Structure 1
Amino acid sequence: MATTPIIDCHAHIWTADMPLVANPRHRLDYDFTVEQYLAILDEHGVSLAVIAAASPYGDYNDYTIDCLRRSPRLRGTVILDPSVDRSTMEWMNDAGVVGVRLPFINRDDLPDLNSFEYRRFLRRCRDLNWHIHLHVEGAKLPALLPPLEASGVKLVIDHMGRPDPELGIASEGFQAMLAAIQRGRTWVKLSGGYRLGPQSSDYARALVREASAERLVWASDCPFAGHEGQITYRETIDWLIDCVPDAATRATIFGATPLGLYFSQ
């Protein structure tokens, strides 16, 4: 019987000499190359992976795209200006890009997703069967989800929706995310628990309880930017095993769901 693969749905790669945006969220003075990352995957028995666009480098997607072309084990998301032309997106699609990351975390100046520019952009993502990869605080989800869902694009939410730490799973944002999952075009990453405090396991268990495993994926968030040395790759796998004790459910989250979401194109 074939074994369901383990797929890491969110990791970052870069070299220290890549151009940074103004006021980056992290200033990374070391390399974390695709070769280093693939070695970690091999060490832990992880078959496939998705490279998440790293916000410090804005729309400098060149390194990610080069690595996707060289490794059929990988897919990736990119950061793009919404004015990007269709031919550029098609070229990226051919390289293994499967979505666009919206790094809206720690931003007060969120764009108008109902504008023509964004509606056109989201339609182009939908036409390519890409997903929108959303990273934002949970408190902002109730405002962002309606225009994203109205576009018809697939939506993947980072780090369990980053719930309000005081309100947790009762927060408006977390409940809005659960409702979006039920509507059928939203997926959530069980990831970033080490960033979210001791309640992170409660968030994961609530998602497993309230949402179908067919709408959940696991991710390491390797190499843990801003938290280097505080967590290991193995610990991110063990965290998911602890949160999801049922082996069949775990196999769906680790493998079957991300295989269909990211590797079916």
Structure 2
Amino acid sequence: MTTAPITYHPAPSAPAFTMPKGACDTHCHVFGPAAVFPYDPASKLHPGDAPKDKLFALHDSLGIERCVIVHSGVHGFDTRATADALAARQGTYLGVALMPHDVSDDDIARHHDMGFRGIRFNYMAHLTPGATMEQLLRLSERLARFDWHLAIHMDNALIESMAPGLAKASTPVIIDHMGRIDASQGLDQAPFGALQRLMENEHMWVKVSGCERASRQDAPYADAVPFARTLVEKFPDRVLWGTDWPHPNFRADPPDDGVLVDLIPQMAQTAELQRKLLVDNPMRLYRFEK
């Protein structure tokens, strides 16, 4: 399959918002370079390269000091591309892996030593299906022994049906991208209500990333901000933020990361909330080196 051209924004604008010291991007990816880390033939998405040096340059320009790279399905279960990036910024960059539900404890331990701290499962039509709920819960019991977490990327229509099972997990569970809600449906929509009820469980976390995906408007994606603000204000100690760079499979031209950063003070309207979102919460969950 032919690899697509590079699609991340080539020159993001300088944001007006200044990151607090120790700020963390808890959701981004690296792709390739494919010549070194080939894409999984089974992947439906074969994007252009988005290598670690481009990610590092973006973070340096935005004042982001810590990061969690989420391994992408474009590489399948081959975690080398992500591990290579973690090794380059050891201690300040950690990772979330894609692994089968029956991964061995030895393999988890090996990835822990490389800087991985959790496993992600996808429940989206365009991605390889995740594990069953029974498999997730069995895995969560083992992950708890390693202080790892589960990350769940799901279609908003699945939040209500998956919630009872996720509420029983033995380890922290992170819901990616605000549960992929559709901002055009308003704050009273059923999926967002289900997400908030799920978040009442103390082991549940949510990323207020993906405003550009939730929005049905052009930049600056104003219709999505009230959803993120609601989550930040209701669950200030269990919210995380991420860029989602390089914005894979986005519906239009790649978003300007400077514009996305300037949404942060609209989501978290006080310095205290901003520090929790960007510094304190990631430090507590991922246990970065100080």
Q: 1:74 aligns with which of 93, 114, 121?
A: 93
**Structure 2 residue 214 is the aligned partner of structure 1 residue 158:** no
Q: What pairs up with 1:95-110 in 2 under 5 angstroms? A: 95-106=114-125
Structure 1 residues 87 and 111: alpha-carbon distance in aligned structure 2, compared to 1, 3 A threshold = closer
For 1:93, the equivalent position in structure 2 comes to: 112
* More displaced stretch, 141-150 vs 248-257: 141-150
Identity %: 22
Q: Residues 39 and 46 of structure 2 are in contact (CA less than 8 Å); yes or no, is this contact kept in structure 1?
A: no
Determine helix, strand or coil for the equivalent of 1:50.
Answer: strand
| CA pair 55-109 structure 1, distance change in 2 beyond 3 A | closer
Structure 1 or 2: larger helix share? 1
Does residue 224 of structure 2 align to residue 206 of structure 1? no
Decide whether the 8 Å contact of 2:30 with 2:51 is kept in 1.
yes
Higher relative contact order (CA 8 A, sep 6+): 2
Partner in structure 2 of residue 188 of structure 1: 206
Distance (Å, rounded) in 1 between the aligned partners of 2:203 and 2:53: 33
Inter-CA distance 21–261: structure 2 relative to 1 (3 Å threshold): farther
CA distance in 2, matches of 1:212, 1:10: 19
Question: 1:92-150: CA deviations, max 9, x gaps?
Answer: 01111011011111269664212xx4433221112211111111112101222222221
Size of the alignment, in residue pairs? 258
Cα shift at 1:229: 4.6
Uncovered stretches (5+) of structure 2, i.e. residues with no partner:
1-19, 218-222
* CA RMSD between the two structures: 2.1
TM-score with structure 1 setting the length: 0.89
| 1:160/1:190 contact within 8 Å kept | yes
Q: Taking structure 1 as reference, are residues 169 and 224 closer, same or farther at Cα in structure 2, changes over 3 Å only?
A: same
The corresponding residue for 2:23 is 6
**1:141 corresponding residue in structure 2:** 159
Residue matched to 2:283: 259
The normalised TM-score by structure 2 is 0.82
Aligned amino acid, residue 39 of structure 2? P
Letter aligned with residue 76 of structure 1: G
**Residues 121 and 130 of structure 2 are in contact (CA less than 8 Å); yes or no, is this contact kept in structure 1?**
no
Q: 1:248 to 1:161 in 2, by over 3 A?
A: same
Would you say the 8 A contact 1:75–1:263 is kept in 2? Answer: no
